[in-house]
Structure 1
Amino acid sequence: MTGSDASPSFRLAYVPGVTPSKWVRIWHERLPDVPLSLVPASPDEIYGLLRGGDADAGFVRLPVDADDLSAIPLYTETTVVVVPKDHIVAAVEQISPGDLDDDIVLHPLDDPLDWEKLPGRPALERPATTADAVELVAAGIGVLLVPQSLARLHHRKDLTYRTVTDTPESRVALAWPEDRTTDLVEDFIGIVRGRTVNSTRGRAQTPAADGQKSKGANASAPGKQNAGGGARRKPAPGKAGGKATGSKATGKSPRGGGAKGGPKGGAKRGKPRRG
C-alpha cells in the first residue's frame, strides 16, 4: 500500500447499470473531508480511465481484461429478457432459453454476457450498444437478453422483462490498478466489503482508540477480581477459617479431620488396632 500517493479526493468510475449510491453514502459518512466524484463510463472506456489515472477505482463487469488490475467480485446479476408488453413471454414470471427459439434475439456489441451459443434466431446485424438494441425491441424487431440492472436502466413504458434461467450471468466487481492501491482505495475496499468503521483491517482505528480500549480492559480487570475474589480470600490463621470448614458450618467433619478433629473423630474414622 502506498499511502503517500493518496490524492485529496477519490474518483470512482462505474459502468452502466451499476448503482454505487449506497457505497457513496457510507463514504461521505466516514470520510466527510474527502470529496468523492462519480465518473460514468462505458465498459470499454472504464479500463482506460483506471490505467490513465483518471479514476482511482471503478465498478466493472467480470472478467477484467488484464493482469495489471486487481478486482474484488461483489455480486451476481440475474439475466432477463426484454420484450414488448404484449409478447407471450410477459404472461409468465420466468422462462428458459428454449422458449425463445422462435424469436430474433438481438446481440449488441457491448453485450456483457459471455455466450457460448445465443438462444433464438440471430439478427442480420448486431446493434452497436444495448441502448440501440432496446430501441429495436420497442420497434418489434426482436428481443434482448441483458443483466437485470440494464433492463431497469433502459426501462420503457411499452417494454417489460422476465427472468431467464440457465443463462450466463453478469458479475460486478470493484477494480483498481494494482500498483496504485492507495489508502483511499483501501478505505473504499473496506466499505464495499462491509467492514465497520472500527474494523482492525481499516484505517479508521487510530492508536489513541487502541489505547483507550486497552485502558478500559485493564480498568475492568480489578472489578472482576474484587467481585469474585472477596468470597475466595483466605482468612487469617486462627480466625473464622476454622468455623467455615468445621462441623458446625457443614454438619460434617472436615476431610482429613481425623488428624485434627480430636481422638473421638479419629476413633470413628480409623481402623481398630490388633492386640
Structure 2
Amino acid sequence: MDVDLRKLRYFVAVAEELHFGRAAARLRIAQPVLSRQIRAFEHELRAELFVRDRRSTVLTEAGRQLLTDARPLLASAEALRRRVQRVAHGRPTFTIAFMPGLLVTAEARAIGQRHPDLAVNVVRTSWDDQADIVREGRADVSYVRLPVDQRGLCLRPLFTEPRVVVLPTDHRLAGKESVDLAELVEERLLQDPDAVPEWRYLPNRRSDPDPRPRPELNSVEEKLEHVAAYAGMVILPLSTATFYTRPDVSHVPVTDLGHNQVCLAWAEDNRSPLVHEFVEIAARQTPQPDDRRQRGSGGAAREGFA
C-alpha cells in the first residue's frame, strides 16, 4: 500500500491538535471532510489511530508511532519538492545554514568558485530550527551544534569548542579565570535546560531560584539583553560569546562542562553530488585547535553571499 501524503498531513494536524475542529480550521477544510479522510486512512492502514468521544481525542499506540514516523517523512517530501522547484525555475542554488558564531565564508567561496553558475546563499539559524532547515529543504547543508534531533539526517563531525557562562560584568564571578558548575548553583539559567543537559544533574541545585516564568528567548541577542538586565545567566559556545561582544556582559570558561560539538548536517535522502562535495570542502576547512577561537570570533557570514 502506498501512503497518501495528503491524508498523512491531515493525520498529523489532528494528532498535534487532538481536536478535529481545530485541525480542520488549521487545514482550511470542513470538519466532516477531515473526519471522513481520517476514517479512510485508518481503514487503509488497518489500524485505529485515535480514540475519540464527545469530550476528547486521544492517540492510540499505533497513532503515536505513526506521528513519530510521519513528521520526518513529510519533511522529506517537502524538501524534495523544494529541490525540484529550484532546479526547474532557473539558476541552480546551494544554501548553507549556520549557527551564530560560526563562519562559513571560506566554504561558501570554495563551492562557488568550483561552480561559477551556482548561486550560493547562506542563512543564519537558531537552536530551534538548525536541523529542521535541512529536513524541510530550506537549506542544503547546515552547520549545527549538538545535541540535535538526528532523525532523517546525516552528520559529519567537524570540531569542538569550549562552553562559557555569560554574566553581567559586575557579577561576583565575572573576571575569574574559570568557574565550575557548583559555583553557579544559585544562578538562574535562562535557557531551556535541554541546551545544557549537565544543569539538570547539578547537586544541590534548586529548581529555579527565581519564581518568574523563564522568558522565551529566540536569539543570542535576546539572551544577552536578559543577562545584562540581571535576569540570569546563559551558557554559550566560546565562539558565540566572543562574537557578540558588549560592555555590560562578560564570559567565563566553565571547567566541568563538555565541549560543544559542531557538525555538518544534511538530509539523508538528499543525493545531490553538490552536498557530498561540500562535505569534503567543510572537512578540509575544519579549524585546528589553535585557531578555532580566532575563526569563531572574527565575524559572521553574511546572508545573500553568492
TM-score by length of structure 1 reads 0.61
Cα gap change, 1:65/1:168 in structure 2, threshold over 3 Å: closer, same or farther?
same
Q: Tell me, what secondary structure is at the counterpart of 2:195?
A: coil
**1:109 maps onto 2:161 in alignment:** no
Kindly indicate whether the alpha-carbon contact (under 8 Å) linking 2:174 and 2:251 is maintained by their aligned counterparts in 1: yes
Code of the aligned partner of 1:112: A
Kindly indicate whether the alpha-carbon contact (under 8 Å) linking 1:113 and 1:168 is maintained by their aligned counterparts in 2: no
Q: Tell me, what secondary structure is at the counterpart of 1:140?
A: coil
State the Cα distance separating 1:153 from its structure 2 match. Answer: 4.2
- Residue of structure 2 in register with 1:36 after alignment: 120
Which sections of structure 2, spanning at least 5 residues, go unmatched? 1-82, 286-306
Cα gap change, 1:142/1:47 in structure 2, threshold over 3 Å: closer, same or farther?
closer
Code of the aligned partner of 1:113: V
Kindly indicate whether the alpha-carbon contact (under 8 Å) linking 1:43 and 1:110 is maintained by their aligned counterparts in 2: no
State the Cα distance separating 1:140 from its structure 2 match. Answer: 1.9
Q: Tell me, what secondary structure is at the counterpart of 1:161?
A: strand
Per-residue Cα deviation, 1:131-188 (whole angstroms, up to 9, x for no partner): 4332222112322222223323443211111111111432111111111131100110
Counterpart of 1:46 (choices 117, 126, 130) is: 130
Rounded to whole Å, the distance in 2 between the matches of 1:165 and 1:158 is 23
Per-residue Cα deviation, 1:59-86 (whole angstroms, up to 9, x for no partner): 1122331331101111112110111222
Which sections of structure 1, spanning at least 5 residues, go unmatched? 196-275
- Residue of structure 2 in register with 1:11 after alignment: 95
Code of the aligned partner of 2:267: P
Q: Tell me, what secondary structure is at the counterpart of 2:157?
A: strand
Kindly indicate whether the alpha-carbon contact (under 8 Å) linking 1:113 and 1:170 is maintained by their aligned counterparts in 2: no
- Residue of structure 2 in register with 1:126 after alignment: 214
Cα gap change, 1:85/1:162 in structure 2, threshold over 3 Å: closer, same or farther?
same
Code of the aligned partner of 2:274: L
Cα gap change, 1:88/1:105 in structure 2, threshold over 3 Å: closer, same or farther?
same
Kindly indicate whether the alpha-carbon contact (under 8 Å) linking 1:17 and 1:150 is maintained by their aligned counterparts in 2: yes
Code of the aligned partner of 1:69: L
Matched ranges for 1:95-106 at <5 A: 95-101=179-185, 103-106=186-189
Q: Tell me, what secondary structure is at the counterpart of 2:112?
A: helix
Cα gap change, 1:127/1:111 in structure 2, threshold over 3 Å: closer, same or farther?
farther
- Residue of structure 1 in register with 2:177 after alignment: 93
State the Cα distance separating 1:40 from its structure 2 match. Answer: 1.8
- Residue of structure 2 in register with 1:66 after alignment: 150
Rounded to whole Å, the distance in 2 between the matches of 1:145 and 1:48 is 23
Cα gap change, 1:41/1:144 in structure 2, threshold over 3 Å: closer, same or farther?
closer
Cα gap change, 1:110/1:177 in structure 2, threshold over 3 Å: closer, same or farther?
farther
Kindly indicate whether the alpha-carbon contact (under 8 Å) linking 2:227 and 2:233 is maintained by their aligned counterparts in 1: yes
Kindly indicate whether the alpha-carbon contact (under 8 Å) linking 2:175 and 2:252 is maintained by their aligned counterparts in 1: no
Question: What is the aligned residue count?
Answer: 191
Matched ranges for 1:169-188 at <5 A: 169-188=259-278
Rounded to whole Å, the distance in 2 between the matches of 1:68 and 1:190 is 20
Q: Tell me, what secondary structure is at the counterpart of 2:95?
A: strand
Cα gap change, 1:113/1:21 in structure 2, threshold over 3 Å: closer, same or farther?
farther
State the Cα distance separating 1:118 from its structure 2 match. Answer: 5.1
State the Cα distance separating 1:111 from its structure 2 match. Answer: 6.0
Cα gap change, 1:91/1:42 in structure 2, threshold over 3 Å: closer, same or farther?
closer
Rounded to whole Å, the distance in 2 between the matches of 1:126 and 1:172 is 27
Kindly indicate whether the alpha-carbon contact (under 8 Å) linking 2:182 and 2:202 is maintained by their aligned counterparts in 1: no
Per-residue Cα deviation, 1:100-148 (whole angstroms, up to 9, x for no partner): 23x4232323863333435865343323225433222211232222222
Cα gap change, 1:154/1:109 in structure 2, threshold over 3 Å: closer, same or farther?
farther
- Residue of structure 1 in register with 2:227 after alignment: 137
Rounded to whole Å, the distance in 2 between the matches of 1:110 and 1:46 is 17
Cα gap change, 1:110/1:9 in structure 2, threshold over 3 Å: closer, same or farther?
farther
Rounded to whole Å, the distance in 2 between the matches of 1:178 and 1:67 is 9
Q: Which has the larger radius of gyration?
A: 1
Code of the aligned partner of 2:257: T
Aligned-residue identity in percent: 35
Kindly indicate whether the alpha-carbon contact (under 8 Å) linking 2:97 and 2:141 is maintained by their aligned counterparts in 1: yes
**1:159 maps onto 2:249 in alignment:** yes
Kindly indicate whether the alpha-carbon contact (under 8 Å) linking 2:131 and 2:265 is maintained by their aligned counterparts in 1: no
